[in-house]
Structure 1
Amino acid sequence: MFVLYKLSDFCHVLHQNYHRRQPRKINWRVWLAVTAVLVIVAAAVYALRFSPYSRIKEIKVEGAQKVSSEEIINLSRQALDGRKHWIIPKDSLVFFNEQEFKDILLKQVPLIKSVDVARNISGLLSIKVQERQKAIIYCDRRQCYNIDDDGLVFEGAPAVYGGMAIALKDNSGREVKIGDQAVGPELISFIKDAQYSLNERVNLNLIYFEVSSFPAAEVDAMTVEDWKILFDSNQSAEDQVAALKLVLDEKIKDQRDELEYVDLRIENRVYYKLK
């Protein structure tokens, strides 16, 4: 009985070892799912890195007048050249960074005020630009520039004073360059309002405006009659011109050609000096 017991026990152990050594069955569903994921990832990598169908192939520019369309296209191609993180092409239709692209164009071309872009699946990138428009001519001690309503310097300009041109001479000693913010939009608005009111209400033409410091509270205007008007840019230009008209019509009507300046900087007060 002892031998039989040991033999049966030995057979049981052999039976267990046999089953342990049997290979496990393959789960084909899991294998197919993993394979499908790998194929999709490989296809995506190929599309991103190599496929021409997912790339920007053509660039079209609208709205360019002073700046050439060719310049914008060349800058665009430079911005879209290369890869991000060594993998994703910058000209990828899928991962195109619209805001980053706009910022590059606006920084490189100060003449451009705004940029709108659109792309389609055919690989066309459409760029619509709005150029800056001259508000006034700004002149420092070195040269003159055109600046827009925001006060941004966007191109050089000839030194033109008088007539329909509005010019601001900066005597503060500052030097600016293209792309700089020369003055604030509030000062631009004040100067344009003052010029318009003087022309319409007083029939008075100017040669130029000038400031001596920044921030510019005092703004002087040189008239074609060779006398100055001293404005406070923090007050209404229209109200100050109304006060000037009252003085010119009632106080110094016959002495206008003898004026040296009229000071409008103190509210409800007008001071003037004769030569």
Structure 2
Amino acid sequence: MRVSSVKGSHYVDSLAQKRRRSFIVRLSLMLVGIVLCVAGVFYALFYSSWFDLNDYEISGAQNIDPAIIKENLNTYRDYRLFKFLPVSRNILFFDVSEAENVLLEKNNLLKTIQIEKKYFHALSVTLVERNALGVWCFENYIGDHKCKYFDIDMKMWGDLDKTTGFILLTVEDYKTIDRQTINKEYFDGIRKLTNNLRSFMAIKSIAIPAKPLSDLIVYTDKPYYLQFSLESNIEDQISVLKIFLNNKKNDIGFVPQYLDLRVDGRVYYK
């Protein structure tokens, strides 16, 4: 015996369609909810003021203008990923290490920089500046701004006019022409000279002549200048100088124009 429904197949199809429409509506609402949630989170992270980075506390600036550091930080902060996403404006996503590297690259005067986040809107920036050993002047450099400060790491910064005096050592480099780069061999030799010579003589400036090679000319607080050579041991040349000056200290007629120490164990003068 067969059992048949009095409602017929049309009723079954109508019920299935209602269930399908209900499922589609619920799915659509759920998708809309998800999109709205994602959009809300996206807006809160990158376009609202909840995590907006807008203040810098800078300490340790002595010779560098804090406004320059702020400008560099703003440029880094305002970079937009894919030209529309301001990732670094959110303090949660601000890359401290990368920002430190960017600032060190842009500011040669900085030796170190430390950035710390102060949630939720500020950065604490601590600067350590380089200490200048002297001024290195590239006398034959074909461009402008021949003189720059330099430090123990051979880093250079600043553009300044040439000065001579006893406060900062001045190096007059007549050898380098097309670039402003400190030669390490001469730098090491000058460091040895200043470290040993300053114990008994004030140094005004040191010249690196174009020729001959490996020579250094030292101008001091004495009326004569000194000639050294990097081809001989600098410490030995200074030891010979000390002995020579000690032997001449009571000689009132000793008024030379220069002292030449370039030959091992000897002093020539005029």
TM-score, normalization by structure 2: 0.72
Cα offset for 1:158? 4.3
Gapped runs of 5+ residues in structure 2? 140-144
* Contact kept? 2:91, 2:119, Cα under 8 Å: yes
Q: Which amino acid aligns with 1:196?
A: N
Structure 1 residues 171-190: aligned runs within 5 Å? 171-174=174-177, 182-183=181-182, 187-188=186-187, 190=189
Give the ranges of 4+ consecutive aligned residues of structure 1 lying more than 6 Å apart after TM superposition: 23-26, 30-37
Classify 1:140/1:71 alpha carbon distance in 2 versus 1 (closer, same or farther; 3 Å). Answer: same
Per-residue CA deviation, residues 190-209 of structure 1 (Å, 9 max, x unaligned), is: 42442232232xx3333321
Q: Which residue of 2 aligns with 1:102?
A: 100
Q: Which residue of 1 aligns with 2:118?
A: 120
- What percent of counterpart residues are identical? 18
CA distance in 1, matches of 2:41, 2:69: 31
Cα offset for 1:117? 0.9
| Aligned residue pair count | 254
Gapped runs of 5+ residues in structure 1? none
1:147 to 144, 147, 150: 150
Q: Which residue of 1 aligns with 2:172?
A: 169
Classify 1:69/1:76 alpha carbon distance in 2 versus 1 (closer, same or farther; 3 Å). Answer: same
Q: Which amino acid aligns with 1:167?
A: T
Q: Which amino acid aligns with 1:67?
A: I
Question: RMSD of the TM alignment (CA)?
Answer: 4.2
Per-residue CA deviation, residues 175-234 of structure 1 (Å, 9 max, x unaligned), is: 55xxx6x3156744542442232232xx333332121359x84433234332322131x7
* Contact kept? 2:206, 2:217, Cα under 8 Å: yes
Cα offset for 1:87? 4.4
Of stretches 237-246 and 58-67 in structure 1, the one that deviates more from structure 2 is: 237-246
Classify 1:175/1:243 alpha carbon distance in 2 versus 1 (closer, same or farther; 3 Å). Answer: same
* Contact kept? 1:116, 1:129, Cα under 8 Å: yes
CA distance in 1, matches of 2:43, 2:76: 22
Cα offset for 1:38? 5.2
Q: Which residue of 1 aligns with 2:239?
A: 242
TM-score, normalization by structure 1: 0.71
Classify 1:172/1:189 alpha carbon distance in 2 versus 1 (closer, same or farther; 3 Å). Answer: closer
* Contact kept? 1:140, 1:175, Cα under 8 Å: no
Is 1:273 the counterpart of 2:268? The answer is: yes
